[in-house]
Amino acid sequence: MKRVYAREEVCVGCKLCEVYCAAAHSEYPKDIVKAYLKQKTKPVPRILVEDNLSISFALQCRHCDEAPCTKACITGAMQKDLVTGIVRNDEDRCVGCWTCILACPFGAIRRDNQGHKVASKCDLCSSGADDLDAPSVPVCVQNCPNRALQFMDSILGEEE
């Protein structure tokens, strides 16, 4: 399956991926300004840019083959789609216990404490990605100004 890979050597730490991701998963997916100004709660990005002075990179879900978060989830909210490979959280079933956060070895799940507490994670902008033959490119990848995010099958040296 195609996943998002970060290239830390060219990431400039601008955090545009966070902005586009948050907007894409808001009530105004096509309008960043409205997403940030009109939505009652602040939109939460599902990608997180880690940085210090010398290095930055974007962190998001790897959609693991044996996803520990799905095994840890106490309600069955976190599920891996066996056809597409995408790991998603069903926010209606999530009770905000954060067990999945403890289980994820990559720190790829965030707390969304606004309103109904839910675990928030990358879904590969999933409706389009459901088309296995032509998965749509996630918005973080589309909008990275320095191509520091790549949507591809695998990186060099990593088995598919």
Footprint on this chain of ligand SF4 (rule: CB under 6 A): 61-64, 67-69, 72-75, 77-78, 87, 89, 94-100, 104, 106, 108-109, 119, 121
CB of 53 to ligand SF4, least distance (A): 27
CB of 36 to ligand SF4, least distance (A): 25
Q: How many residues does the chain have?
A: 160
Burial class (CB in 10 A: 0-12, 13-18, 19+), 83: exposed
Between 77 and 141, name the residue whose CB sits nearer to ligand SF4.
77
CB of 131 to ligand SF4, least distance (A): 20
Do the Cβ atoms of 106 and 62 come closer than 8 Å?
A: yes
Between 76 and 128, name the residue whose CB sits nearer to ligand SF4.
76
- Dist. CA 27–CA 8, nearest whole Å: 31
- Dist. CA 37–CA 41, nearest whole Å: 9
